[in-house]
Amino acid sequence: ILEIGSGPGMNFKYYPVGTILTCLEPNHHHEKYLRENLSKINRKIKLKEFVCGCAEDLSRFKDGQFDAVVETLVLCSVTSTEIVLQEIKRVLKPGGTFYFIDHVAD
């Protein structure tokens, strides 16, 4: 799973046991808290990679690399919603799932 805008890891408690997670977060200060929160939950979740970067540039990831992408309240803070959604589609495996919660209309 790729989580875009993972922040300090507030979604971790919702992931199933055995999840392998890559986190993309523009604020490098969140990594410390993300790792602390990961160690506090009682689920076996593996953090494969923490990447400090923005949602508009997923170029470090391969086409079709992820089974799922998760994004929570990120689209309101990006420069181009269209580019972000194109990149998400690109990095998802065929038949992959995009889970999102957001509050932007376009």
What CA–CA distance (Å, rounded) separates 85 from 34? 24
Condensed to tens digits (0 to 9), the pLDDT of residues 18-66 reads: 999 999 999 999 999 999 999 888 678 999 999 999 999 999 999 999 9
The sheet carrying 2-4 orders its strands as: 46-52, 20-25, 2-4, 66-72, 92-101
Asked if residues 15 and 34 have their Cβ atoms less than 8 Å apart, the reply is no
Within 13 A of 6's CA, how many CA atoms are on the CB side?
Answer: 31
What is the value of pTM for the model shown? 0.93
How many CB atoms are located within 10 Å of the residue 67 CB?
Answer: 14
Instruction: Enumerate domains of the chain plus CATH numbers.
Output: 2-101 (3.40.50.150)
Lookup result for tokens 């890891």: 9
